[in-house]
């Protein structure tokens, strides 16, 4: 091979390794994919990398936050529990720690996260970058639990930030979209370890909506998965308990996966017959058989999502949640929109972080999904104006069609974030095309 100069040249050329996100809708061919081993190496990379840099976590964002043709920077070597304080119940983790590897070490020190999202594949830094959340009117997003973080800025400076040190940077960096630098360590406010009981039942969506106040008051974490083209939803309630753990179940059977597969199959055969479909979907409830699960909190929150999809989620003021959902369901029915994935309906407490979807308002988060093999563009485009009507803010990690001008109007503290970004990264080292568009950088 070395005898041929062209082939020898090819062998010397840098090997480009493509990247794609979980759903497959986002991809890129970065010039380099780097995973520094420690802080010194990371600082060198940030100082010396030619062109743009995008930090990447587990690639579980649906939106184009990550793609770059420059350097894709993974913190996979920055993993694990670093420090903790038994008195304050705070713990510091390396920023690249997958959330799935946080529950057990936290339990060993008697701590737990107060709430969790419905999967735990995300990294800690990735999750807080987009204000990732679970459900519960009394519970804010992960970002609101952050008490301190370390950030490597575009100049290679290492900033230890909290409410006293670099307070403005800290506040903005709690939801950063990865646009302020690379987070290396994150300190979280936790609570004592606890067990949860999960109870699931199927009920009419309209009845669940009428009982929203009761469901959210009586359950610490309540949500529903609304079966589109039917009149029913799967209602899920998680509450703290001192009861002993139930025997472990097959993770593939949890989180409604079996139910989702049933609906998928049904859609294949009857989507051309809307009334038959509705009757069949409505009767699926007779086959449902849910057993309560009790276990460590982190085991109960996390689900396995075995069917891939794309997702759009908006958070509307909490009081508008029911009206917004009703309008979406009416549109899907009236226009017979092609979709079968359930709609997720959750509540999140307000916080004070400039770019958090929950800044200044208790919110109801509504997510619409489309199987990854089906076109999501037309479906999401049809639904999105309903979210706009209710002043919805799109989840930063999920698909949406807004640009900086529209987003700015939804975030009263927008300038607090953009000023910090301009000061930390005046040349836009941490931007890509999507971030330039949503942050309004030429």
Query: Applying CB under 6 A, which residues contact ligand FAD?
Result: 22, 54-61, 65-66, 75, 95, 117-119, 122-123, 125-127, 129-130, 132-133, 176-178, 182-183, 305, 395, 397
Q: Which helix (H) or strand (E) holds 314?
A: strand 309-317
Rank residues 198 and 285 by Cβ distance to ligand FAD and give the closer one.
Answer: 198
Shortest spacing between CB 398 and ligand FAD, in angstroms: 6
Shortest spacing between CB 309 and ligand FAD, in angstroms: 7
Shortest spacing between CB 86 and ligand FAD, in angstroms: 27
The Cα-based distances of 125 to 91, 96, 184, 371, 404 in angstroms read 14, 6, 8, 27, 23
Rank residues 89 and 325 by Cβ distance to ligand FAD and give the closer one.
Answer: 325
- Rounded to a whole number of angstroms, the distance between the first and last alpha carbons of the chain is 46
Coil, strand, or helix at residue 40?
helix
Q: 231, 244, 245: which is closest to 283 by C-alpha?
A: 231
Shortest spacing between CB 367 and ligand FAD, in angstroms: 8
Rank residues 124 and 329 by Cβ distance to ligand FAD and give the closer one.
Answer: 124
**Contact assessment for residue 194 and residue 112, using Cβ atoms and an 8 Å cutoff:** yes
Rank residues 344 and 384 by Cβ distance to ligand FAD and give the closer one.
Answer: 344
- Length of the chain equals 442
Rank residues 280 and 404 by Cβ distance to ligand FAD and give the closer one.
Answer: 404
Coil, strand, or helix at residue 427?
coil
Q: Which helix (H) or strand (E) holds 393?
A: strand 393-394
Question: What's the CA angle centered on 198, arms 97 and 80, to 5 degrees?
Answer: 10
The Cα-based distances of 72 to 53, 66, 75, 153 in angstroms read 6, 8, 10, 16
Shortest spacing between CB 1 and ligand FAD, in angstroms: 37
One-character DSSP codes across 47-92 = HH--S-EEEESSS--SSTTS--SSEEEE-TTS-SEEEEETTTTEEE
CA dist 232 and 303 (Å) reads 21
Shortest spacing between CB 197 and ligand FAD, in angstroms: 19
Shortest spacing between CB 184 and ligand FAD, in angstroms: 7
CA dist 132 and 398 (Å) reads 10
Shortest spacing between CB 276 and ligand FAD, in angstroms: 30
Rank residues 158 and 331 by Cβ distance to ligand FAD and give the closer one.
Answer: 158
CA 242 distance to own-chain centroid: 29
CA dist 398 and 421 (Å) reads 22
Rank residues 277 and 418 by Cβ distance to ligand FAD and give the closer one.
Answer: 418
The beta-strand segments (E) located in 6-89 are 19-20, 27-28, 32-34, 53-56, 71-74, 81-85
Rank residues 154 and 383 by Cβ distance to ligand FAD and give the closer one.
Answer: 154
Shortest spacing between CB 282 and ligand FAD, in angstroms: 27
Joined together, the tokens standing for residue 217 give 């008051």
Q: 354, 353, 253, 245: which is closest to 305 by C-alpha?
A: 253
Beta strands 363-371; 191-192: pairing state? unpaired
Beta strands 71-74; 32-34: pairing state? parallel
Rg over alpha carbons for the chain, rounded to the nearest Å, is: 22
DSSP-derived letter for residue 114 is S
Shortest spacing between CB 423 and ligand FAD, in angstroms: 17
Shortest spacing between CB 25 and ligand FAD, in angstroms: 11
Rank residues 100 and 282 by Cβ distance to ligand FAD and give the closer one.
Answer: 100
- Helix residue spans in 194-313 (DSSP H): 205-210, 212-218, 257-270, 274-283, 297-301
Rank residues 276 and 403 by Cβ distance to ligand FAD and give the closer one.
Answer: 403
Rank residues 209 and 431 by Cβ distance to ligand FAD and give the closer one.
Answer: 431
């Amino acid at each position: 091979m070395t005898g041929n100069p062209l082939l020898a040249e090819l062998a010397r050329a840098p090997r480009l390794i493509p990247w794609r996100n979980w759903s497959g809708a986002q991809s890129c061919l970065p010039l380099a994919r780097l995973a520094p081993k420690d802080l010194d190496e990371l600082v060198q990379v940030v100082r010396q990398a030619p062109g743009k840099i995008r930090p990447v976590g587990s690639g579980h964002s649906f939106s184009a936050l990550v793609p770059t043709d420059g350097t894709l920077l993974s913190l996979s070597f920055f993993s694990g529990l670093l420090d903790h304080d038994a008195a304050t119940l705070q713990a510091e983790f390396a920023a690249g720690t997958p959330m799935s590897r946080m529950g057990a070490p936290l339990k060993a020190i008697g701590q737990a996260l107060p709430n969790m999202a419905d999967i735990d594949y995300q990294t800690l830094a990735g999750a807080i970058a987009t204000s990732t959340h679970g459900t519960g009117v009394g519970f804010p997003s992960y970002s609101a639990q952050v008490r301190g973080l370390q950030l490597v800025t575009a100049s290679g400076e290492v900033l230890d930030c909290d409410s006293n040190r670099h307070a403005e940077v800290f506040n903005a960096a709690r939801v950063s979209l990865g646009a302020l630098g690379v987070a290396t360590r994150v300190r979280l406010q936790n609570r004592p370890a606890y067990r949860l009981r999960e109870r699931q039942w199927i009920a009419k969506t309209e009845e669940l909506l009428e009982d929203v106040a009761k469901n959210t008051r009586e359950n610490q974490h309540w949500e529903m998965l609304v079966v589109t083209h039917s009149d029913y939803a799967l209602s899920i309630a998680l509450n703290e308990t001192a009861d002993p753990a139930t025997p472990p179940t097959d993770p593939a059977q949890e989180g409604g996966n079996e139910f989702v597969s049933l609906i998928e199959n049904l859609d294949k055969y009857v989507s051309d017959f809307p009334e038959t479909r509705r009757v069949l979907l409505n009767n699926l409830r007779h086959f449902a058989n849910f057993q309560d699960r009790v276990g460590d909190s982190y085991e109960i929150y996390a689900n396995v999502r075995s069917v891939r999809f794309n997702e759009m989620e908006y958070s509307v003021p909490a009081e508008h949640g029911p009206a917004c959902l009703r309008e979406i369901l009416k549109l899907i029915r009236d226009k017979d929109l092609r979709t079968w994935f359930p709609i997720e309906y959750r509540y999140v407490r307000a916080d004070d972080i400039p770019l958090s979807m929950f800044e200044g308002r208790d919110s109801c988060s509504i997510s619409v999904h489309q199987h990854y093999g089906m076109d999501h563009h037309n479906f999401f485009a049809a639904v999105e104006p309903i979210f706009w009507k209710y002043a919805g803010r799109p989840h930063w990690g999920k698909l949406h069609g807004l640009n900086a001008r529209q987003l700015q109007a939804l975030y009263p503290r927008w300038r607090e974030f953009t000023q910090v970004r301009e000061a930390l990264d005046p040349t836009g080292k941490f931007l890509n095309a999507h971030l330039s568009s949503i942050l309004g950088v030429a």
